[in-house]
Structure 1
């Protein structure tokens, strides 16, 4: 598939059938993810791969608020059918360690200096870029995928269930599977117009156009 087609066809898919995904395809998704850019080549990311029925059941049980489990919304039912979930995790300490090395010029990991040195948390941003490569690979492989957040009140339960250390932060999760038609719902890409480059690109000055 041409890269332009991968970009144009990428959508958040929320309904899947129960066919399994070839493990080799998941391998390729993760192999592509580690080619994402990272500040200082820190590579402060990790990925939890869940593709067994018991693992998936534990994931949804620990990351879904009780009220949603009780009602089992259409969104949740469609997402739970996905045979693969990948959780990208960012690792802040990898960046602090990397930038304390001689070639970067910062010789300490002083927590009070972090805000001044890092205008934005690149450990989260870079892991998000890796997640996008997973989403794009899914499209290239003819699959569907969806990136979504883990509710804050469920994060500790998720960590405990899967042994995720406190040093790593789940930035979200990605379902992967064979897509089913989704009629769309309020707020989704199916019912909202995509903004054009002319509406969001400022050329040379805020408000300026080419």
Structure 2
């Protein structure tokens, strides 16, 4: 598939065929492409928790979705056969920029204009989303509610130094073509968002 087609066809898929697992070689390509994302100072401060078995996925949903019957969104999302949780590792960046070639002598995070550890991990997640499209799969990036992060950590033994930036669900699209109601707003044009030379 041409790259322009991959970008044009990328969308968040919210329904999956539960009977079609993601082929192992495709799963590995998703991860191999993710680690090609840019990272400040080549810090590569990320990790990826891969959840494939029904037991692992159920444990994820139990930790992050809470009690009660799942709503329509959650019922469809739970059918995804593959969940990948990208985690950022802030300490990797603070350590890297305290090394001699970077010129900082301390690990003061106030030097950072934005949390690059989260930005770079988000870019890795985007590469997984694009790879899924290129492989003929669907994928969706969604967040873990702040009040559920500690439960998630506990359920999977995630060290405190790693923070989930969200989750990527992956699979073959299901029968429902579920579009977000937000799409009714329409995509903003280049002319609306680009400022050339001045605001």
Following TM superposition, by how much is the alpha carbon of 1:64 offset from its aligned partner in structure 2, in angstroms? 0.6
Report what 2:35 is aligned to.
34
Q: What is the rounded CA distance, in whole Å, between the counterparts of 1:130 and 1:184 in structure 2?
A: 24
Following TM superposition, by how much is the alpha carbon of 1:192 offset from its aligned partner in structure 2, in angstroms? 3.0
Q: Does the CA contact (< 8 Å) of 2:14 and 2:178 recur in 1?
A: no
Mean CA deviation greater in 164-173 or 176-185 = 176-185
Report what 1:108 is aligned to.
106
TM-score relative to the length of structure 2:
0.96
Q: What is the rounded CA distance, in whole Å, between the counterparts of 1:108 and 1:75 in structure 2?
A: 45
TM-score relative to the length of structure 1:
0.91
Report what 1:131 is aligned to.
125
Alignment map for 1:1-210 (pairs within 5 Å): 1-18=1-18, 19-66=20-67, 70-109=68-107, 113-115=108-110, 117-180=111-174, 181-187=176-182, 189=183, 191-206=184-199
Which ranges of structure 2 fall in alignment gaps of 5 or more residues? none
Following TM superposition, by how much is the alpha carbon of 1:65 offset from its aligned partner in structure 2, in angstroms? 2.7
Which ranges of structure 1 fall in alignment gaps of 5 or more residues? none
SS class of match (1:49) = strand
Q: What is the rounded CA distance, in whole Å, between the counterparts of 2:135 and 2:69 in structure 1?
A: 33
* Consecutive aligned runs of 4 or more in structure 1 exceeding 3 Å deviation: none
